[in-house]
């Protein structure tokens, strides 16, 4: 007679551990890198080559006359001027877009446009922003939700919205944007002073730490920290409007 059969019971326990993903620091994958390289390339059709951010007037008056002078001018912009404000606005706009908060994104854009201290500065940011959105929506569309940005859009807000919509992390996107701003203004300086191509690369190399600090500081800043004190740069942009001979639109 057979003995009793043993029953083996297997109990599996599943534990669900909630995790919080820091979207600011999402690793940059090959797709995100490709988009950043394309969108912030000098060949992207936003017309960045046409704007000097007032540097043309600074060269005219002798405030910028060599590579060292150009580097000092750009350092002030990155720490205290329009480039700093754009960095903070970029970070805030990216977060609003990533959260799907269309109302806040629109408010940030309104602030970005209102902060422009002169007509040419307003043209500089909105012409590039509008052109960026037109090109990117046509070539790299993304889900913008029921209330996409409309009207005049500031350049940092436009790029922030697109990078957030494509899942590109804030930290690499912001760093790439500030680098592109610095590189474009160095290019303007090369044509205006004039300087050689090697001097341009030396200037870009010298500003590497300044670009990194601007990005790092802007990531931790809130919207109340937008603004600056690079008054000479603002005055240069205003005076450029009536400059007799000009190569640039700002």
Nearest to 152 by CA among 177, 136, 131: 131
pLDDT of 135 over the 60 cut: yes
Burial 76-96 (b: 16+ CB within 10 A, else e): bbbbbbbbbbbbbbbbbbbbb
Q: Which domains does the chain have, with CATH numbers?
A: 53-240 (1.10.4190.10)
The answer to whether the predicted template modeling score (pTM) of the entire model surpasses 0.85 is: yes
Q: Which residues contact 65 (CB under 8 A, 6 or more apart)?
A: 59, 193
What is residue 90's three-state secondary structure?
helix
Model confidence over 24-62: pLDDT tens digits? 777 899 999 999 999 999 999 999 999 999 999 999 999
Tokens of 219: 């990531």
The predicted pLDDT at position 2 comes to: 55
Q: What percent of the chain has pLDDT over 90?
A: 84
pLDDT of residue 27: 83
Task: Report the interhelical angle of 67-80 vs 208-220 (nearest 10°).
Answer: 10
């Amino acid at each position: 007679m057979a003995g009793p059969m043993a029953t083996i019971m297997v109990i599996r326990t599943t534990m669900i551990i909630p995790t919080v993903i820091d979207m600011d620091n999402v690793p940059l994958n090959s797709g995100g890198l490709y988009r950043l390289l394309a969108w912030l390339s000098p060949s992207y059709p936003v017309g960045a080559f046409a704007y000097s951010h007032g540097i043309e007037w600074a060269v005219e008056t002798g405030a910028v006359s060599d590579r060292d002078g150009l580097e000092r001018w750009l350092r002030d912009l990155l720490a205290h001027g329009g480039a700093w404000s754009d960095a903070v606005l970029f970070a805030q706009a990216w977060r609003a877009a990533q959260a799907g908060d269309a109302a806040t994104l629109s408010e940030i854009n309104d602030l970005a446009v209102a902060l422009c201290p002169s007509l040419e500065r307003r043209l500089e940011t909105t012409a590039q922003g509008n052109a960026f959105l037109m090109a990117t929506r046509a070539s790299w569309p993304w889900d913008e939700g029921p209330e996409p940005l409309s009207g005049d859009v500031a350049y940092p807000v436009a790029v922030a919205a697109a990078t957030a919509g494509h899942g590109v992390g804030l930290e690499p996107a912001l760093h790439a944007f500030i680098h592109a701003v610095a590189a474009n203004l160095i290019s303007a300086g090369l044509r205006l002073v004039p300087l050689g191509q090697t001097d341009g690369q030396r200037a870009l190399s010298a500003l590497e730490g300044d670009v990194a600090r601007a990005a790092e500081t802007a990531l931790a800043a809130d919207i109340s920290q937008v603004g600056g004190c690079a008054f000479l740069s603002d005055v240069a942009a205003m005076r450029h409007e009536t400059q007799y001979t000009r190569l640039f639109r700002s």
